[in-house]
Amino acid sequence: MAGIGGKVSSAGKRNRGSATLARVTVVASSLLLGAAAPVAPVAHGPAPAAKPRYTFTKLAWSDEFNYTGLPDSTKWTYDVGGQGWGNKELQYYTKARRENARVAGGNLVVEARREALEPGNAYTSARLLSRGPGGSQTYGRFEVRARLPGGRGTWPAIWMLPDQNIYGNKSWPDNGEIDIMEHVGYDPNVVHASTHCKSYYFRTNNQKTGVTIIPDATTAFHVYAIEWTPETITAEVDGQLYFAARNEGTGWQAWPWDQPFHVLLNVAVGGEWGGQKGIDEAAFPQQMLVDYVRIYQMKKN
């Protein structure tokens, strides 16, 4: 989400997860606080792998959301505020407020609401980060099973940012962003995966982006994932690969992805991308439901 910084029973989860835990995936293989998302995506299709190079079978960190109440504070922290997040977004992100972020019915619920909790913000929502022991790592498979919100003006994202800003301007975009999933409500069921860095990002309209259509993205759960290696970042939905970005070997300007990154989950309202066609105020509240978040280690074959 170019930007600075812009469900089922427990038994059902275990059954669904068994296939994921057992699978071996092989790939040959934003933020200033919230910069705007791609307006004119540049498609980069994946090429088939010659042979397996990596596997991602060891689960390093997860939250299955098999509890009730606030998100587990040992696994999740919050970004808080309502300054637009670099994208002219309209929501105020709250901290540990059940109305905006809670675990119920086996899911994490991230809810955007039409309410003026803080002056200058007509909406509230939540932005959760997996930073901390195990919730950040360099390389691996990052997998989230989720059902997306709908409604014109919504902008949900499942994405990644670095733990530290060590390159260039010590901020975004120089230190990189990985968008596992972005969706805007005015363009329903069209899902985007992108990478942003100093050499390739949306402000210069040359970001690397893949787009796919998921006909029931807002009514059914799907598994959104990226696999990140020293050579490539690839994205898939339900195991179907639709995006690949490759390391050109030209330095951090084109490949800052060699340091720990963490996962972010949020639902923005409006903004330079999400608000392009206005906001349907009657559509709120809107929820992103997250069944699980799993982070797997990379093993080189």
- 34 closest CA partner among 273, 291, 281, 215: 273
Other Cβ atoms less than 10 A from the Cβ of 206: the count is 12
Q: How far is CA 35 from CA 55, 185, 190, 202, 205, in A?
A: 33, 18, 20, 9, 13
- Of residues 111, 177, 227, 236, which has the active-site annotation? 177
Q: How far is CA 207 from CA 31, 44, 168, 179, in A?
A: 14, 10, 18, 11
Token pair for residue 192?
């985007």
Q: How far is CA 231 from CA 38, 53, 284, in A?
A: 23, 10, 41
**281 part of the active site:** no
**182 part of the active site:** yes
The residues, ordered by sequence, that sit 6+ positions from 21 with a Cβ below 8 Å of its Cβ are 57, 59
The dihedral through the CA atoms of 171, 172, 176, 177 has a sign that is: positive
- Of residues 89, 111, 143, 182, which has the active-site annotation? 182
Catalytic residue numbers read 177, 182
